[in-house]
Amino acid sequence: MARRRNRNMTMEEAITKAVRGQRTPRTTTTYRQIKDLIKTYGDRDAADRLGVSPRTLRAWVHPDRAKRRAPSRANRGKIGAEHNTREVRRATAPRRRLNRLGQKGIKVNFTGQAGPAPMGKDYRRLRKITADLPPDAAEAIMHAYVEDGPAGAEAAFREAMREHYHDADWQFSDPQEFRFDDSELHGDGDDW
């Protein structure tokens, strides 16, 4: 049996996976995006935002795959743009997880290319980093994800790592593993 070759995640995919608590990266299909839009706005409002009828929207997410219709390329672009909004991230973010990590802090497990940015690519290599971030840094990362998306969360993560892991500006790329877990070091958040 042929082995499937693992595709490297981008940092945006890795941040989204870590914030949402997914063990394996889930591809965001057009179907999933439409379901998230319906969860956020409801059938009628989601259809209005996309400029289609509610009946068309229901045909795109029909439970029977054989009867499900695929949106056109233009509509897929509208769906992707509408899906990447603050309201959708806020509605689909796992609230209990965000609150818990914001109170206890985050234990970061990162395996991938990492190194100090000012040194260039010479010092960037495959590293396995485990670091405990305090609750305020965890809260900043989670808030940045909800408000600014994966790019904002990545910037907040780099800032937190600069403050609490190493005093230099680090570059992180080509993640093989990237996970946020509860920090045992910080307990209930009272120690910080």
Q: Of 49, 75, 92, which residue sits at a domain end?
A: 92
> Do 135 and 162 fall within a single domain?
yes
Q: Is residue 144 assigned to a domain?
A: yes
Q: Is residue 12 assigned to a domain?
A: no
> Do 100 and 161 fall within a single domain?
yes
Q: Of 46, 62, 92, which residue sits at a domain end?
A: 92
Q: Of 77, 92, 107, which residue sits at a domain end?
A: 92
> Do 105 and 36 fall within a single domain?
no
Task: Pick 186 or 156 by higher pLDDT.
Answer: 156
> Do 140 and 88 fall within a single domain?
no
Report in angstroms the alpha-carbon separations of 111 from 24, 95, 106, 140, 162: 14, 26, 16, 22, 17
> Do 79 and 129 fall within a single domain?
no
What is the enclosing helix (H) or strand (E) of 33? helix 30-41
CA dist., res. 12 & res. 153, Å (int): 9
Rg (the chain; Cα; Å): 19
> Do 72 and 149 fall within a single domain?
no
Report in angstroms the alpha-carbon separations of 7 from 31, 57, 109, 114, 192: 22, 32, 19, 18, 39
Do β-strands 170-182 and 106-116 pair in parallel, antiparallel, or remain unpaired? antiparallel
Do β-strands 125-133 and 170-182 pair in parallel, antiparallel, or remain unpaired? unpaired
Q: Is residue 13 assigned to a domain?
A: no
Token pair listed for 93:
């973010």
Domain with 66, as residue range(s), is 22-92
Q: Is residue 5 assigned to a domain?
A: no
Q: Is residue 66 assigned to a domain?
A: yes
> Do 26 and 66 fall within a single domain?
yes
> Do 145 and 79 fall within a single domain?
no
Quick one: DSSP state of residue 185?
S
CA dist., res. 121 & res. 115, Å (int): 8
Q: Is residue 104 assigned to a domain?
A: yes
Q: Is residue 3 assigned to a domain?
A: no
Q: Is residue 17 assigned to a domain?
A: no
Give 90's pLDDT tier (boundaries 50, 70, 90). confident
Residue range 169-186, pLDDT digits in tens: 888 888 888 888 888 876
- The count of domains in the chain is 2
Residue range 39-78, pLDDT digits in tens: 999 999 999 999 999 999 999 999 999 999 999 999 999 9
